[in-house]
Amino acid sequence: MPEGPEIRLAADKIAKVIEGQQIEDIEVGLPHLTQGAAKLKGRRVEQVETRGKAMLIHFDNQLSVYSHNQLYGVWMTAKRGELPATKRSLRLALHTKEKSALLYSASDIGIYQPEELLAHPFLTKIGPDILQKNLKWQTLSKRLLSARFCNRSLSALYLDQHFVAGIGNYLRSEILFAAGVHPDYKPKQLNSEQIEALARQTIAVGKRAYKTRGHTVPTSIATALAKTKGSYESVRFMVFNREELPCRECVTPIIKGQRNGRRIYWCESCQPLV
């Protein structure tokens, strides 16, 4: 499933095509979208934004298109009349005079009035967006130590969109490694320095993944890895998907485990469980 940085990158791509533009025609692949889509034809797109793993496209008549890619959804862009070569099912197509924004395979899509968005079952429950511009580490520290979250394992907490929206499986492993904390700890078991490190790295790693289009390695290490001319996947991460490979910090072999039904990776030396 795409995580927050990937959804934000997709939103950037869609915004270049439709933001500020009039939608001349719309196609829908799901019956429940037909009535709402008719109200968007001829309207101008004011903004494309993300909230965690959800994307919102706002129109000048106050209506908004909500979409969540889940496992299989993907947004694409193309020149109008030149659809991508794909076997995916088209769910929504927004056509401007010259370009098209196309959503394939997703099933969680809706068209909403402002008051309906305020009551949306996903949007009303998620925590702050990991890429929120004004998100401060102090805010995350308070959330980590709150009664609601402090007694949960970090491995579970860092997949919970109620805590922070936009974190998924690879960011979970990478953030915990960057902070130097084991995934089995609970926030209440960490000291103040560890809480601060975790809060800071949550923001830093998320922003890095967005700016580098999916890389979470720090700049100094990324520069060295670039010289090796390794594959995209081999140089992206510090621990994720690197089972039994040497830690980039201490050369201890990376551990792969299962937590909350998902694979997770850590370094026993850099993230000790005392």
Nearest Cα to 56, choosing from 141, 174, 165, 150?
A: 165
How far, CA to CA in Å, does 161 sit from each of 45, 157, 204?
Answer: 27, 8, 18
Collect all residues with Cβ–Cβ distance below 8 Å to 1 and sequence separation of at least 6. Answer: 53, 69, 70, 71, 168, 169
Distance, CA of 156 to chain centre: 17
3 included as an active-site residue: yes
φ, ψ dihedrals at 67, nearest 5°? -145, 145
How far, CA to CA in Å, does 11 sit from each of 20, 60, 161?
Answer: 14, 18, 19
248 included as an active-site residue: no
DSSP assigned state of 135: -
How far, CA to CA in Å, does 109 sit from each of 55, 118, 123, 169, 260?
Answer: 10, 16, 13, 23, 27
The one catalytic residue in 200, 262, 263, 268 is: 262
2 included as an active-site residue: yes
The one catalytic residue in 3, 128, 187, 248 is: 3
The one catalytic residue in 5, 6, 8, 53 is: 53
The one catalytic residue in 2, 5, 128, 183 is: 2
272 included as an active-site residue: no
Tokens of 272: 């000790």
Question: Catalytic amino acids?
Answer: 2-3, 53, 262
